[in-house]
Amino acid sequence: MSKHIVVLNGPNLNLLGQREPQIYGYDTLDDVAVICTSVASELGLQSSLKQSNHEGELIDWIHEARTHSAGIIINPAAFTHTSIALLDALHTFEGPVLEVHLSNVHKREEFRARSFVSLRADGVIAGFGINGYALAMRHMGTLVSSS
Ligand code: DQA
């Protein structure tokens, strides 16, 4: 059976395409889902994309990934900079974790340069827009094929 990768997205990313397009662009989360599914199937992987505005729901999905998924790609959005709970949840997951940000968080406000999630992530992509998800999925293919 092919390996499953879950792509988790945090708060306000449901508004991708409408929300501050000068920073995040005009592509929507549906566009992200299409890209992820297409790269995943090219690599012989299965993927599903989820988004929540609620920290606890993201944590539940990370717990679910422990038994259902080989890898996690996560854009924790603002929870990146605040959530020790998400970090702790990610520490319970044994497979690879890749962190994605649409914008270059290092070129923005100082508080965005700090990521709790990066303390667990095996790699971080920032500033590549939605292409960052495709790059992360491609790298995930390499990581899970060697596990
Ligand atoms: C973001 C960057 C975060 O700082 C911000 O809170 C977001 C989106 C990004 O994808 O660039 O909501 O994670």
Q: Are 3 and 71 in contact (CB under 8 A)?
A: yes
Nearest to 103 by CA among 50, 27, 37: 27
Residue with tokens 């501050």: 20
Q: Are 61 and 8 in contact (CB under 8 A)?
A: yes
Residue range 67-80: mean pLDDT, rounded:
98
Provide the number of structural domains found in the chain.
1
CATH number of the domain where residue 93 is located: 3.40.50.9100
Q: For residues 51 and 112, what is the distance between their CA atoms, to the nearest angstrom?
A: 20
Tens of pLDDT along 113-144? 999 999 999 999 999 999 999 999 999 999 99
Per-residue confidence (pLDDT) for residue 1, from 0 to 100: 72
Question: Ligand 1 in contact with 3 (CB < 6 A)?
Answer: no
Question: Ligand 1 in contact with 80 (CB < 6 A)?
Answer: yes
CA of residue 138 to ligand 1 center, whole Å: 21
Using DSSP bridges, classify how beta strands 97-101 and 71-75 pair: parallel, antiparallel or unpaired.
parallel
Enclosing domain of residue 15 = 3-145
Tens of pLDDT along 90-119? 999 999 999 999 999 999 999 999 999 999
CA of residue 12 to ligand 1 center, whole Å: 9
